[in-house]
Amino acid sequence: MSTRQPLIPPINLIFNYLEKQSTIKVWLYENTHSRIQGKISGFDEFMNLVIDNAIEIPIDNVTGVEQIENGKKLGQILLKGDNITLITSVD
């Protein structure tokens, strides 16, 4: 008998973030110079995300450290699923 945990489909994980109103951070595809942070207020089957209170966080080119204090407020945005590499909870 295996004691492995069942895998959670990605769309269910996004729904959990939406339900819990978790603050998420999104790593962008082919853009290693910034990340997007905010709360998911909607999504679709293509994993396009509507993000409220979005902040674009620059990444230092030398150290790779996020420069949260230099973040740019974007407000509500629509982020196409094609641009998403990774989604993680900040909470």
Domain parsing of the chain, residue ranges: 10-89
Average model confidence (pLDDT) for the chain?
93
- Nearest CA-CA partner of 38 in 81, 80, 67, 72: 72
**10-89 is a CATH 3.40.140.80 domain:** no
**Exposed/middle/buried for 2, CB within 10 Å: 0-12, 13-18, 19+?**
exposed
- Residue 91 CA to residue 29 CA, distance in Å, equals 23
Q: pLDDT tens across 19-55, in order?
A: 999 999 999 999 989 999 999 999 999 999 999 999 9
pLDDT at 1 (0 to 100): 54
